[in-house]
Amino acid sequence: MQELVDLKGYARVSDMAASLGLSRSAVSNMVRRLAKRGFVNYEKYRGFTLTPEGRAVANHIKVRHQTLAELLHMLGLSAETVEQEVEVIEHHLKPETLRVFSRLVRFWHEHPQHLETFLRYGKGK
C-alpha cells in the first residue's frame, strides 16, 4: 500500500486489488476499516492516502520485512525460501524478537567474520 501511495501520492482501490490479486470489494472493505482506525484518508471513488499514523505502521511493517529477509539471506537461504519464510514468520514476531534479529543483522554487518564462522560451523553439521 505504501509503495503505491509513494509512487503516485495516492492509491486507488482498483490499484490495490490488482497489486494484491484481490477483488475490488474486498480491498474496499479493508480500506474502509483502515480509515475507521485512522490509518488512511479515504474518499469513495477517489482513492486514499496514508495518515501519519498509517505511514508509521506501514514503515514498521516494511522494516520488519526487510530485517527478516536480510537475516535469512545472510544465513544462506535461497531467495525463494526467504520470500516464503518471511511471509509466514513476519506476522508472528514479538517486537522483542524483531529487535534481537535486527541487532544480529547489524552485528554481522559490522563483524562479517563472525557470520562466516557461523556459516562454516553450520556446514560442518
Residue 125 corresponds to which cell in the numbers above? 553439521
Instruction: Return all residues near 65 (Cβ < 8 A) that are at least 6 apart.
Output: 86, 90
CA distance 35 to 68: 28
Instruction: Of 26, 24, 27, give the one whose Cα is nearest residue 40.
Output: 27
Q: Tell me what the pLDDT averaged over the chain comes to.
A: 91
pTM (2 decimals)? Answer: 0.77
108 pLDDT more than 70: yes
Q: Which pLDDT score, from 0 to 100, does residue 20 have?
A: 86
Q: Is the Cα torsion angle 125, 77, 90, 117 positive or negative in sign? A: positive
Which domains are present in the chain?
Answer: 2-50 (1.10.10.10), 56-123 (1.10.60.10)
125 pLDDT more than 70: no
Query: 39: which DSSP letter?
Result: S
Confidence of residue 81 (pLDDT cuts 50, 70, 90): very high
Instruction: Of 56, 61, 110, 113, give the one whose Cα is nearest residue 90.
Output: 61
